[in-house]
Structure 1
Amino acid sequence: MYGELAVAPVHAIVRQPSGMTSLEAAGTWMQFVTAYGALIDIGNLQHGETVLIRAASSSVGLAAIQIANLVGAVPVALTRTSEKRQALLDAGAAHVIATQEQDLVSEVNRITQDNGARMAFDPVGGPEVAYILRALSYLGVFFQYGALDTADMSIPVMEVLGKDLTIRGYQLFEITQDAARLNGAKAFITKGLQIGALLPMIAKVFTLAEISEAHRYMESNVQIGKIGIEV
C-alpha cells in the first residue's frame, strides 16, 4: 500500500518493536514472517541441517539466512552469478553457489559430505527446480513460495520417489491469517531482534514522490535487501 494514510486489515498490523526505527520496523515483518513460516513453523529446521536458499539476495532470502543461523542450521545461498557472492557471505551465508557458473548438485554434495540438503526455499520455480530436488537429502522438503519463473517446474520423478521428497507450495498468508501461528512468528522474530540475531537489511531508501524510481531500482535486481519508502 502506498500513501500518507492507508486502511489495512488488523491481522496485517504489527507493533513497532522497541529500539527500532520506523524504517527498520517496516522492513522487518514481511520478510522474516515469510521465511519463518516455511523454515520454522512448517519445516522445523534444526541445528546442523542444510537449507538451500534461492534468490538469496532478496529481502526474504536474507531473512532466511539469518533465521537459519539463529537456529544453528547451515544456510547455502543460491544466486545466478558470483557478482553478489561476497555480499551474501557478509550477510551470513555459510556457502554461496552461483548456479550459472557451478554444478549445483556437486557443490551441495561437497558441502554436505554427500548427504544432501534437508530443505530448499525457492521463490523462482521453473526448469532449474530439478537440480535443487536432486540436491536434497532423503525426506527432504522443497518449499515453493513464489513464481518469478512462470514456466512449469521440472520434477525428476525418480528423485522424488527414491528420496520420498516433499514438494510444497507456501504463502505468507498461511501464517498471517492464523492468529496462533502469527503469534508464534511474532514471538520468534521479536526475540531474534532483541538478541541481535535478526536485523533487516535496507538496500536503499526513496521518498514517496520517488516511487517510480524505487520500482525501477527494484526491477534492476542490483539491490541486496529491502527497499524503503519514506513518507
Structure 2
Amino acid sequence: MTNILAAGAVERHLRARRDTGRALLMPYVTGGVTPGWTRYLTAFAEAGADAIEVGLPFSDPTLDGVTIQQASEAALARGASTRRILADLAEAGDVGVPLVASTYYNLVLHDGPEAFCAALRRAGVDGLIVPDLPVHEAGELTGVAAAAGVDLALLASPATPRPRLEEISRRSRGFVYAVSLMGTTGERAALAASAAELTTRIRSVTDRPVLLGFGISTPGQAREAGRHADGVVVGAAVMRRVLDGAGPDDLRAFLATLRRALDQE
C-alpha cells in the first residue's frame, strides 16, 4: 500500500531494528505514577526496549483495564498533568529510544491538536497513540502530528474489516498497533487466539511494523506474539509491578526476561 505520509522518527527507528531480524519491545509506563518516574525510562531502554509508551493519564480511560486505571488514578492523585509529565520528559532528556505518548482525544482537544503536538515534540516525544480516535476522524490530527514530527499510530482490532484495515494501515505512522482481542488492557493467562489472524491480515496490507498489545504479560506470551507480529507492547504487567512497589531495577530485570524471550524467536 502507498503511504499517505512519509515515515517519521519512530517508524525509521523501528524499521531499522526490525530489518535486522530483531523482535521489537515497547513497554508502557504511566507518566507521573511515582516520584522520579522517569527513571523507569532509562531502565526500560537498558533492558532492551526499542521504544517506550508513556501514558498521559486521563480521568475516564475507556479502553484501559483495572491496572492501568489504577495507575492513572495514582498519577492524577499525585498532581500529574500533561504539562508536568512533558516537563519531566524534557528534563530527563534523550533515553536512547523513541518515546510514544498515549492518551485520549479529550486531552488532545484541550489545547488543540497543533499546540498539543508541538508540546510533545518540545518534550522529546516522537510518537502518539490516541485509542479512542477512529480512523475516519483522524485526518486532522494525522496531518498536524506529521507536521510537528510526531508519528500518529492507529489501532486495529480483530473486528476491523479489510477496507478499514487498509485505511488504518495506510494512515498510521510509526507502526500499526494490533489489539489482540476485543476488550480492555490487562494481564491474561494466554495470548488471545485472535492475535495471529489479526497480525496476518495487517501484514497482508502494509509493510509497516506491527506491534501486538493487550494482554501480553509473560515471556512465553511475548515469544508467541513475536512469531506473528514484529513486536509487542507490554503495559499492565509492567504497571502492576510498579503499583506493587517495584523500582526501576526490578522492572529492568522483568523486561530483560521479555527481551530474552523475544530474542529466542
Looking at secondary structure, tell me which structure has more strand per residue.
1
Would you call these one fold, judging by a TM-score over 0.5? Answer: no
Q: TM-score, normalised by structure 2?
A: 0.32
Looking at secondary structure, tell me which structure has more helix per residue.
2
Report which structure shows greater RCO (CA 8 Å, sep ≥6): 2
Q: TM-score, normalised by structure 1?
A: 0.36
Structure possessing the higher radius of gyration over alpha carbons? 1
